[in-house]
Amino acid sequence: MSDNNKREVNRIKELESINLSREEIRDFVIETKKEVEKDNDLLAKQLNDELKKRGIRSIDIVGAIGAGKTALLEKIAERLSKKYRILVICGDITTRVDADRIEKHDVKTIQINTGRECALNAYHIYQVLKNQDLDNYDLIFIENVGNLICPSDFKLGTDMRMTVVSITEGEWVVEKHPMLFKMSDVAVINKIDLLERLGTNIDKMENDAKNFNPHIKVIKTSAKTNENVDLLIKTLEL
């Protein structure tokens, strides 16, 4: 049993010992989760208000592990580091590999290590931004921990959210993860340089994203060959 599961079982035992029924415990757990999300959304709204007030644009990037979030951010930083004063906040379980990769392109980076947590939340972002002189930036990117499930629970206070998947994850990856596509403005299907070799049904991926969210803009990119990287930047209104 994982540590998380053990903790959950112990918590349930504790609640049972104060004579709550299984149904009451379930309701308590659901209510607690809702409260956490409500608090997070409130803080995210305050963060977004603050950034807007200062004229800072903000975009968060979520997506599958290894889909190319950092590779795309490197390409974006390369093209925009002279136009904007950019801060990139990178979420990762333990390393600062991604921040180091992006920093090479003349942008400021901050790494957040989440430890066991599978997504950043608004409190992580608040903790970082409160120690920054925000007058130094016009544009903030946040790369979340690679995960297609957990980040959907937590808004981060950005203007725009971009979800990245790639054709190497297979044509069902969008269909299997509706939540992030429902709450994203832009969906990127990356690694199209490998399309011929893999034969992934990319039209299905695009249609699935649009079925979940008719307003989503779908861009097919290759961070390796640069295909459609400029189009992506235009779509992000940068």
Q: Which residues bind ligand GTP (CB under 6 A)?
A: 63, 65-71, 98, 146, 190-191, 193-194, 222-224
- The count of other CB atoms within 10 Å of the CB of residue 164 is 31
Taking contact as CB under 5 A, which single stretch among the options 8-16, 44-52, 68-76, 191-199 is the one that binds Mg ion?
68-76
Does 70 sit near Mg ion (CB under 5 A)? yes
Helices in the chain by DSSP H: which ranges? Answer: 3-17, 22-53, 69-80, 97-103, 122-129, 178-182, 195-198, 202-212, 229-235
Q: State the amino acid at position 81 in one-letter form.
A: S
Q: Which is nearer to Mg ion, 70 or 152 (CB)?
A: 70
Site string for Mg ion, 190-229 (x = CB under 5 A): ----------------------------------------
Please, which residue, 65 or 149, has the CB nearer to ligand GTP? 65
Smallest distance from the beta carbon of 113 to ligand GTP, in angstroms?
13
The answer to whether 91 and 61 have CB atoms below 8 angstroms apart is no
Q: Which of 57, 69, 75, 220 binds Mg ion (CB under 5 A)?
A: 69
Q: Which two tokens stand for residue 196?
A: 């011929």
Q: How far is the CB of 98 from Mg ion (least distance, A)?
A: 4
- Nearest Cα to 143, choosing from 80, 228, 64? 64
Q: Cβ closer to Mg ion: 102 or 205?
A: 102
Question: What is the distance between the alpha carbons of residues 139 and 136, in angstroms, rounded to a whole number?
Answer: 10
Regarding 98 and contact with Mg ion (CB under 5 A), the answer is: yes
Q: Please give the residue ranges that form the binding site for Mg ion (CB under 5 A).
A: 69-70, 98
